[in-house]
Amino acid sequence: MDDFKVERLEKRIEVLSEWKSRMLELYGEELSPFDKWCLENELSREDQHFITNLSLLFSIHLHPEPDNSEVRNILHNTKAYFNVDHIELTFEEFDRFIKEYQRKEKPIFYWDTRELLEKLAQSNRSVQLKEWLIGQ
């Protein structure tokens, strides 16, 4: 890459970082803890989609009516999405999925699984899952 393109890329990164900081200043209080965490860690839409589906895969196992046809359908679809037959409802298993995704997709920042679960729960998302995997 020539110097001009490198300079433009560096300038673009600088401008986007400034916008990110400004967005946090302006809207930080309006964002949920999870959305704020996503913004701070620069998660892509695909990254967020992965986290949502992974949380669903684990959370559906905690549903009080596992024999409900809708629950079974969701479970079947999420297992197919992740190409798994069985999961263990443990923090280690959830963490393994997160680390494997990060290894493949190479997101901008490393995600701490415990922090991720905390931010989801603080946003009233996957509260039961967080309590199951890491306690209160």
Range of the domain at 17: 1-30
Structural domains counted in the chain: 2
Average pLDDT for the chain: 91
Query: In this predicted model, what pLDDT tens digit does every residue of 62-104 receive, in sequence order?
Result: 999 989 999 999 999 999 999 999 999 999 999 999 999 999 9
Q: Tell me: do 24 and 57 sit in the same domain.
A: no
Residues 42 and 92 occupy one common structural domain = yes
Residues 12 and 63 in one domain: no
> Are residues 124 and 105 part of one domain?
yes
Whether residue 12 is found in the same domain as residue 61: no
Give me the torsion for CA of 118, 122, 127, 131, rounded to 10°.
40
Are 67 and 40 in the same domain?
A: yes
22 and 47 in a single domain? The answer is: no
Q: Indicate the pTM of the whole model.
A: 0.82
